[in-house]
Amino acid sequence: MRTIPIRLRLTLWYCLIFGLLMIMITTSIYLIHRTSHYREVDRSLVSISEYILNGTYTELDKGVSLSKIQLEAKNVSLNGVAFAIEDISGVSIATGGGALKRPDITLPEMHGMREPLHTFTDQDQIRYRMYVQTIVYHDEILGYVLSEISLSNIDRSMNFLLWLIVSFTLFGLGLAALSGWYLARKAFQPIAMITDTAQAIAHTQGFGQRVMYEGARDELGLLVETFNEMLQSLENAYLSQKRFTENASHELRAPLTTIRGNIDILQAVERMPESERIEILDDMKREAVRMSRLVAELLTLARADAGQEIAFEVVDVNEITSEVIDEMLNWNSVVEIESQLGPSALVWGSRDLIKQLVIILLDNAIRYTPQGGTVRIRTKKEHGRVHIEIIDTGIGVSEQELPHIFERFYRGELARIHFPAGTGLGLPIARWIVEQHQAQIIVLSEQGKGTQMIVKLTALL
Ligand SMILES: Nc1ncnc2c1ncn2[C@@H]1O[C@H](COP(=O)(O)OP(=O)(O)OP(=O)(O)O)[C@@H](O)[C@H]1O
Ligand SMILES: [Mg+2]
């Protein structure tokens, strides 16, 4: 049963139920009709027969012998009924309504049967209905009253009715099958379209395809909509993964090319002034450092994508922040760093990740603040949350750039000039860390004035 398509199964069920219903209705109509017609025939046979029998008794009462009886049946509407009065030996005494067809059995035999009404068929295959009544006078059987009618008209009309019913039922069934098939096809059209699209995607990997369905927004319409939304998000994920791989290989190729070029120079030039050699080696070292940072960042993001397990513990945000500030103070001599750490700021989180988060934000604030500027870092507790605020007076981010700064490899135009060695992976990592801690990050920035980054972590106490 599983291999029969649903469409066909539905149609078959539809036809079966419809057919059964049709057969039930038409059969009952036919049977009711038929019974009432044949009953009507019997009734007229019986009533005519009774009339004749009564007339016979009246004559007998008058003293007329049975063989002399002459009946006036002019006033009776015979309606196609033929009758005869016969004596016990079968001699016809009186007839009316035409000649009688006789069944193959004798009258006493016929009368011996319990049922006085009999149906028989003549050699021309025409059916007759006959009613036999005995004339009993003073306890003596004198003869019989026979009345008979041909059933050919009723049989013909009944056959015609049967034919009509069968043809209408078959026609109705055909119509039901066609409309059932059409309806099922129409109802399953979106599913067929989804299957086609899914198959096309499986063959071509073209996530840009969509199911083009413009029907009602019913259950199937919603299914198509959801399927298209799913395709959209798959396409986005696929494209961003593709972009990420392209960007990553591009970013990795640049420092490698520089390092290889410098090695070539070192190999080719035998006598090189010491200062130039040192400069080339410095250049190589810088690129190698940049590359190892890039690789470390890529690794973090790859782990993030793989759903890495993170160990949480009680973490003091103030402790981490001051640790990062101390490290930063060692290499920064360009901007002034002001710190203002609140009292206890305990959160449930990963020490390493929160430290990485603070480094990324502070690193940006210092890098994108020109000489003479100030970077303020502040922690505080507010409404059950620990805030880490990093505020700088640097180059800021333009309104157009702001929505993109958390995208992988995205770098602001001014930022590229200010710090060409950046990779654009800092903030995407920061965002992932924030998500892992179910925290919030807010960015307020104005180009030329400065940037404010606020992280809100859930406080433990
Ligand atoms: N404090 C800031 N001031 C001005 N612009 C900023 C600041 N922080 C982030 N940005 C903007 O956001 C962009 C993305 O920052 P992100 O830290 O992700 O990358 P990056 O700093 O360019 O490179 P790296 O991955 O090496 O840190 C930056 O290029 C810059 O345009
Ligand atoms: Mg950065």
Q: What is the pLDDT of residue 76?
A: 59
Q: What is the pLDDT of residue 216?
A: 81
Q: Is 392 in the pocket of ligand 1 (CB under 6 A)?
A: yes
Point out the ligand 1 atom lying closest to the alpha carbon of residue 363. Answer: 27
Q: Percentages helix, strand, coil for the chain, rounded to the nearest 5?
A: 55, 20, 25
- Structure tokens of 77? 């509407």
CA distances from 392 to 285, 313, 402, 439 (A): 30, 30, 16, 22
**Residue nearest ligand 1's atom 20 by CA:** 424
219-303 has which fold?
Helix Hairpins (1.10.287)
The pLDDT tens digits along the chain (461 residues) read: 567 888 888 889 989 999 999 999 999 999 999 999 999 999 999 999 999 899 889 989 988 888 887 766 555 567 788 888 888 888 888 888 777 887 777 766 766 666 788 888 888 889 999 998 889 888 888 888 989 999 999 999 999 999 999 999 999 999 999 998 998 888 888 888 888 888 998 898 888 888 888 878 888 888 889 999 999 999 988 888 888 888 889 888 988 999 999 999 999 988 889 999 999 999 999 999 989 989 999 998 888 888 888 999 999 999 999 999 988 887 766 889 999 998 878 999 999 999 999 999 999 999 999 999 999 999 999 999 999 999 999 999 999 999 999 999 999 999 999 888 888 999 999 999 999 999 999 999 999 999 999 999 999 87
What is the DSSP code string of 306-343? TT-----EEEEHHHHHHHHHHHHHHH--SSEEEEEE-S
Q: What is the pLDDT of residue 111?
A: 66
Point out the ligand 1 atom lying closest to the alpha carbon of residue 410. Answer: 14
Cβ-contact 453, 443 below 8 angstroms: yes
Q: How many CB atoms lie within 10 A of CB 431?
A: 18
- Global pTM reads 0.60
Q: Is 300 in the pocket of ligand 1 (CB under 6 A)?
A: no
Cβ-contact 337, 375 below 8 angstroms: yes
Burial label for 11, CB within 10 Å (0-12, 13-18, 19+), is: buried
CATH number for 6-157 (one of 3.40.50, 3.30.450, 3.30.70, 1.10.287): it is 3.30.450
* SS3 per residue for 11-22: HHHHHHHHHHHH
- Structure tokens of 396? 């800021």
Phi/psi for 69 (5° steps) reads -65, 130
Q: How far away, in angstroms, is 334 Cα from ligand 1 center? A: 18
Domain with CATH 1.10.287.130 in the chain: 219-303
Please give all residues whose CB falls under 5 A of ion ligand 2, grouped by chain where several chains appear: 364, 426
CATH class of 310-458: alpha beta
Q: How far away, in angstroms, is 311 Cα from ligand 1 center? A: 28
Q: What is the pLDDT of residue 79?
A: 75
**Alpha-carbon span 91 to 249, nearest angstrom:** 123
Residue type (1 letter), 282: D
Q: What is the pLDDT of residue 213?
A: 82
- Structure tokens of 46? 């019986």
Q: Is 429 in the pocket of ligand 1 (CB under 6 A)?
A: no
Q: How far away, in angstroms, is 307 Cα from ligand 2 center? A: 23
Domain with CATH 3.30.565.10 in the chain: 310-458
Q: Is 96 in the pocket of ligand 1 (CB under 6 A)?
A: no
Mutate to test the pocket of ligand 1, among 251, 405, 413, 434 (most ligand atoms within 8 A of CB): 405
Q: What is the pLDDT of residue 95?
A: 82
What is the DSSP code string of 193-244? HHHHHHHHHHHH--TT------S-SSHHHHHHHHHHHHHHHHHHHHHHHHHH
